[in-house]
């Protein structure tokens, strides 16, 4: 298995020439300079990722939802039973989850990948593509020791890389991160703390509905795990110590997209924790990523700030599944579309600002 | 012409029963309660406007762009020549403007309406529907006297109402506000100040690119106009005193949509100033409006706060044309779609939170 080292070796940053060309083009379009705000910066970013100006308009977005379970569930860090992970994978596969409705709304393909669910997922007559790439039947309890072996972490990273490659090879031109995993905000918080250097208390949140008592316990688990991770020798070791299988696979998807120069939209705190992990492995990959939204989970903002990424949406969402990133897809397409389709002052015969009367 | 009084008389607020039914339905869907944030509140709002739960998913959005010129341009409140209004109307009609690209992106119909452009607009072979409903060849200078006669203000309101009716009669189920008019942030600021009671200095911004010197002049113009408007006898008089023809037409569109129980998406500060005007005429109409985005122009936030509306997007945009509202269309559709398509815990066989292990 040489997927990971090859991927890391092939990643290049965005093209500064293409970014500059897009920025110049923005100034010629029939609109006041800068008046489309973040959408203009996004258009230039897409140019950099693709290495061309104007950027191609993404027409084949695909959402990859990676699912996994977590030994840390035993610590009582969530009020949801662990079996919900597999049940929700089945719900996604049968088209009934939030991310399914949003994928239909934005015209995105959807694939759900079992990379670490505890019990085999029973998917009869799936309406959504389901991939069984299970690396382990859930992680070990990160409160008491490493969540993963190094080999498991690498295998899950490579699941994500290979899913990115397969999707891009099939014509997908915009990758969207999604995940499902009861208790997975705990390893996400630990990854964000470990790679940002920020406090466990600052990055740990209430996930999908944690009360004060559970929150204190969760912060304590995260703090102790991050202390242990401080002696890790490299980013993969940190990921193995405190991460999760879907976090690793998402990091792989982010790296595989960057390798192929296909933009990847980051969803909430799980995807952001995967991104901060992936950036530790390949800092140049960040140029190929777009922050879809700002999750209500505090670790998301810490991770995005650390990566220098500006979230497009801020709707107070904290669902995961890829929901916030899916909603951002039309914004990404719009940013590229403007650079392709808006007339210039010259071509439209429109007088510019400050022209003599 | 009895369009306006009939419209105002027929407007009813949103259905509280439908809102409550939608809120209950949200709790049954396979997601943690409240985890879709503002999108859940939006879905319930759409139910209230349409009077049904789940709300129908808007499938035929239409953007109406109203264009007008402004006598206050003579005061030097903008660096853009007045002729740009007509040039941009032609650019929109030929499909080259930002709003055209965004309309294509979100699958919205687009209609551009000359309600008050100074010079006749020459539209050869339009690729976008163009309506000549010119009420006056620009407003009078609001710095020196009333911008409009009361009759002109009513006529422009009724242009907006009739456009709303025509679109809804043709099957449109989501209305989107757009506008074009060089210098039109000045009357917008005056309307927001007059109807909110806030200071001219707080609501007046740099529009599409005003330097410090022009900004001071613009604030002074707004302050004096608002002082004069204080003696107006009703909202239509305020609108005539300090408003604009496209502002009036947009207020009409907002009222006509509310009358027909079709949600209307508010764009930036011009549309927000029209909304605060329309709400003064028919307070219940607000239940039918959705704030598409938060414009960078300060008056937009003041108006939306006054109306109790929560903007969906905040991308630092300040273009107008309907650009921010157009980008919000997929979010509106998504909010309705979730209430229609997401499985319930029961139907999907997913265990709820806090279930016994």
Put simply, the chain A residues between 88 and 147 with a CB less than 8 A from any chain B CB are 88, 90-91, 94, 96-98, 100-102, 104-106
Catalytic residues of B: 321
What's the pLDDT score for residue A101?
98
The yes-or-no verdict on residue A275 having pLDDT over 80 is yes
Confidence band for A356, pLDDT divided at 50, 70 and 90:
low
In this predicted structure, the answer to whether residue B210 has a pLDDT above a threshold of 60 is yes
d(CA A300, CA B8): 46
Looking at the complex, does the CB of residue B149 fall below 8 Å from at least one CB of chain A?
no
Q: Identify from B25, B27, B30 which residue to disrupt to test chain A contact, counting A C-beta atoms within 10 A and taking the largest count.
A: B30
pLDDT of residue B124: 79
Interval A281-293 mean pLDDT = 98
Q: Judge contact between A114 and A89, C-beta under 8 A.
A: yes
Is there a contact between A348 and B91 if contact means CB atoms under 8 Å apart? Answer: yes
- Summarised one tens digit per residue, pLDDT across range B219-246 is 999 999 999 999 999 999 999 999 999 9
Q: Does B351 touch chain A (CB under 8 A)?
A: yes
Q: Name the token pair of B35.
A: 């985890």
By mean pLDDT, which of A179-193, A197-211, A323-337, B301-315 is the weakest? A197-211
* Other beta carbons within 10 Å of B228: 19
Which residues, 6 or more positions from A223, have their beta carbon under 8 angstroms from its beta carbon? Answer: A193, A199, A200, A201
Whether residues B350 and A84 touch (CB distance < 8 A) is answered with: yes
Q: Do A96 and B30 touch (CB under 8 A)?
A: yes
Query: Which pair of structure tokens corresponds to residue B263?
Result: 């949600």
Cis peptide before A54 (omega within 30 of 0): yes
Chain A residues with CB-CB distance to B35 below 8 A: 208-209, 317-319
Q: Which residue has the tokens 């690209």?
A: B101
Would the pLDDT of A209 be above 80?
Answer: no
Which of A11-20, B20-29, B211-220, B254-263 has the least mean pLDDT?
A: B211-220
- A chain contacts of residue B96, beta-carbon cutoff 8 Å: 30, 341-343, 347-348
pLDDT in tens, B75-125: 999 999 999 999 999 999 999 999 999 999 999 999 999 999 999 998 878
Confidence at A136, pLDDT banded by 50, 70, 90: very high
Closest-approach residue (CA) in chain B for A26? B98
- Is B334 within 8 Å of A102 when comparing Cβ atoms? yes
* pLDDT given at position A81: 95
CA torsion sign for B120, B121, B126, B130 is negative
User: ipTM score of the complex?
Assistant: 0.97
Tell me whether residues B351 and A87 touch, CB distance under 8 A. yes
Our CA-based measurement puts residue A297 at a distance from the nearest CA of chain B, in whole angstroms, of 11
Q: Is B44 on the interface with A (CB under 8 A)?
A: no
SS3 (DSSP) at A344 = strand
The mean-pLDDT minimum among A9-13, A260-264, A350-354 falls in A350-354
pLDDT tens for residues B256-282?
A: 999 999 999 999 999 999 999 999 999
pLDDT at position A353 is 84
Question: What is the rounded distance in angstroms from the CA atom of residue B197 to the CA atom of residue B227?
Answer: 11
Average pLDDT of chain B is: 96
pLDDT of the residue at B122? 83
Number of residue pairs across A and B with CB atoms under 8 Å? 191
Please give the average per-residue pLDDT across A2-29, as a whole number: 97
Say if residue A183's pLDDT is above 70: yes
Predicted confidence at residue B1, as pLDDT, reads 55
Catalytic residue set of A? 321
Query: Are the beta carbons of A350 and B35 separated by less than 8 Å?
Result: no
Is residue A201 predicted with pLDDT exceeding 90?
Answer: yes
Q: pLDDT averaged over chain A?
A: 96
pLDDT at A140: 98
Which residues of chain B neighbour A32 with C-beta distances below 8 Å? 208-209, 318-319
Q: What is the chain B residue with the closest CA to A81?
A: B357
The nearest CA of chain A is from the CA of B236 a distance in Å of 31
- Token readout for B199 is 């200071």
User: Predicted confidence band at A50 (pLDDT cuts at 50, 70, 90)?
Assistant: very high
State yes or no: pLDDT of B307 exceeds 60.
yes
- The predicted pLDDT at position A352 comes to 87
* Listed residue (A68, A110, A75, A81) closest to A239, CA to CA: A68
- Return the percentage of chain B with pLDDT > 90, whole number: 95
Q: Is A270 on the interface with B (CB under 8 A)?
A: no
Three-state helix/strand/coil letters over A205-235: CCCCCCCHHHHHHHHHHHHHHHHHHCCCCCH
A287-297 average pLDDT score = 96
Q: Closest approach of chain B CAs to the CA of A316, in angstroms? A: 5
Q: Give the model's confidence band at A247: pLDDT under 50 very low, under 70 low, under 90 confident, else very high.
A: very high
Distance between CA atoms of B303 and B274, rounded to whole angstroms?
Answer: 9
């Amino acid at each position: 298995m040489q997927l990971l080292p090859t991927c890391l070796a092939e990643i290049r940053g965005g093209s500064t020439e293409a970014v500059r060309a897009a920025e110049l083009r923005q100034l010629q379009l029939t609109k006041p300079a800068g008046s489309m705000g973040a959408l203009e910066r996004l258009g230039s970013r897409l140019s950099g990722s693709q290495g061309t100006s104007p950027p191609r308009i993404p027409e084949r977005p695909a959402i990859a939802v990676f699912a996994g379970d977590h030994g840390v569930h035993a610590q009582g860090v969530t009020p949801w039973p662990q079996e919900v992970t597999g049940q929700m994978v089945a719900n996604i596969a049968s088209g009934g989850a939030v991310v399914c409705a949003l994928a239909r709304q934005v015209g995105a393909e959807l694939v759900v990948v079992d990379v670490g669910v505890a019990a085999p997922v029973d998917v009869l007559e799936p309406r959504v593509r389901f991939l069984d790439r299970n690396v382990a039947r859930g992680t070990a309890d990160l409160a008491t020791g490493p969540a993963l072996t190094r080999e498991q972490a690498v295998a899950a990273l490579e699941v994500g890389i290979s899913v990115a490659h397969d999707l891009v090879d099939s014509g997908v031109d915009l990758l969207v991160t999604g995940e499902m995993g009861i208790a997975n905000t705990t390893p996400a918080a630990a990854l964000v703390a470990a790679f940002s250097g920020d406090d466990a208390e600052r990055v740990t949140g209430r996930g999908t509905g944690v009360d004060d008592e559970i929150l204190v316990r969760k912060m304590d688990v995260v703090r102790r795990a991050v202390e242990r991770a401080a002696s890790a020798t490299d980013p993969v070791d940190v990921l193995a110590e405190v991460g999760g299988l879907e976090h690793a696979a998402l990091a792989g998807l982010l790296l595989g997209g960057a390798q192929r120069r296909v933009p990847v939209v980051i969803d909430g705190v799980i995807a952001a924790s995967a991104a901060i992990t992936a950036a530790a492995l390949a800092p140049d990959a960040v140029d190929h990523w777009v922050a879809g939204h700002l999750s209500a989970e505090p670790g998301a903002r810490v991770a995005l700030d650390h990566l220098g990424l500006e979230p497009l949406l801020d709707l107070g969402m904290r669902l995961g599944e890829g929901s916030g990133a899916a909603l951002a897809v039309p914004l990404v397409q719009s940013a590229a579309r403007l650079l392709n389709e808006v007339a210039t002052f010259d071509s439209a015969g429109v007088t510019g600002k400050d022209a003599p009367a």
